[in-house]
Amino acid sequence: MKLQHFSIALFLGLSLGTAISVSESLIPSAAKNLMAVESALLSRPCQKALASAAVLQIASGPIRLPPSKPAPSLVTTLIFNQTSTPDHILILGFHDFGPNAKLNGMTYPEFDAYIKRAKDLGYQNLTSHKLLGFLYGKEPVKGKWIMFTFDDGYVGQFEAAKLLQGYGYSVLLGIVSNHIVAGGDSLTQAQIAEILAMGHELASHSSGHCALTLPTDDESAFLASPPGPEANCNPDVFALLNQGEIAFQLKDSKAVMEKTFRVKISAIIYPYGFYNDTVHKEALNSGYQLGFRFPNQVNRDIHSYTSAVDLPRLNVQRGSRI
């Protein structure tokens, strides 16, 4: 998963041109590192998949949305050069932070500089509420908007959330509900509550960080070796979860976190980004209005990304620039 996501991020980094760049000198060593750590990470309670991303532009056209919602006249369109579109949305995915950050995480000074750059470029803070307004409320996108998302609940994200707050930005924090009390290198319940009190938002990252479906052929092609059985919360390597198990991963995490933190959870960040029509259906059935995944094909039809529960993100890691 790590290698796959890295490769996608690399593609996006190259494709986005000035929008984001990944140091070329970083690529070979990072890829090797991802291959090397993959097996170790897969045995962890929460795998640290690299996020990915994209720039979204609102245009007119059809959109897949929950049947209970009125069909908006807007569609999110993946574009690879934001510089030509002054009005756009940038959704960023981060993982670990700090001097001991794992898996190409950012140091705090590097993250601080990254946030400052976003501020200097005039990006406004995009909350999930605002994003819902764009997607469901037919609100036109005017200006540049940036959404920060953190995956997996690394303890290093606590200080990173403070940094964002200092610049007037918020983060959508993707937490694995089974790991809330895990401690160790994971955020504790008290720390998550404190982050929310700063004004940040909470998303589900499933209940057990199980892959909700099989990786696609393209995703598999990026894997250095078959992932271990832990990756799917199933004794069989990447055996499919049945529909009930998928629903549980989505619904239980939402219910647990809503009860624990007394907030409404409207967003799901899919573990590993693995996603298909069943996951799509169950995400909507579970009450999610926003879903974030990883683009899994470099030349995928852009209309594959036009669902509010199928939103791509741009991976940001050590060496990335905005």
Q: How many other C-beta atoms can be found within 10 angstroms of the C-beta atom of residue 34?
A: 22
Q: How far is the CB of 205 from Zn ion (least distance, A)?
A: 6
Q: How far is the CB of 47 from Zn ion (least distance, A)?
A: 6
Question: Does 201 sit near Zn ion (CB under 5 A)?
Answer: no
Nearer to Zn ion, 151 or 201 (CB): 151
Q: How far is the CB of 212 from Zn ion (least distance, A)?
A: 12
Q: How far is the CB of 120 from Zn ion (least distance, A)?
A: 30
Nearer to Zn ion, 97 or 136 (CB): 97
Residue 61 and residue 112: Cα distance in Å, rounded? 38
Residue 165 and residue 238: Cα distance in Å, rounded? 39
Question: In the range 263-322, which residues lie near Zn ion by CB under 5 A?
Answer: none
Give me the amino acid identity at 5.
H
Q: What region does 209 belong to: left with phi over 0, alpha with psi -120 to 50, or beta?
A: left
Question: Does 49 sit near Zn ion (CB under 5 A)?
Answer: yes
* Binding-site member from 38, 151, 282, 310 for Zn ion (CB under 5 A): 151
Q: Which stretch binds Zn ion (CB under 5 A): 35-43, 152-160, 260-268, 286-294?
A: 152-160
Nearer to Zn ion, 94 or 305 (CB): 94
Listing DSSP states for 58-82 in one string gives EEES--B--TTSPPPSEEEEEES-G
Question: Does 41 sit near Zn ion (CB under 5 A)?
Answer: no
Nearer to Zn ion, 9 or 79 (CB): 9
SS3 255: helix
- Assigned token pair, 5: 């996501």
Residue 137 and residue 303: Cα distance in Å, rounded? 20
Residue 176 and residue 178: Cα distance in Å, rounded? 6
Q: How far is the CB of 206 from Zn ion (least distance, A)?
A: 8
- Residues in contact with Zn ion by CB under 5 A are 49, 151-152
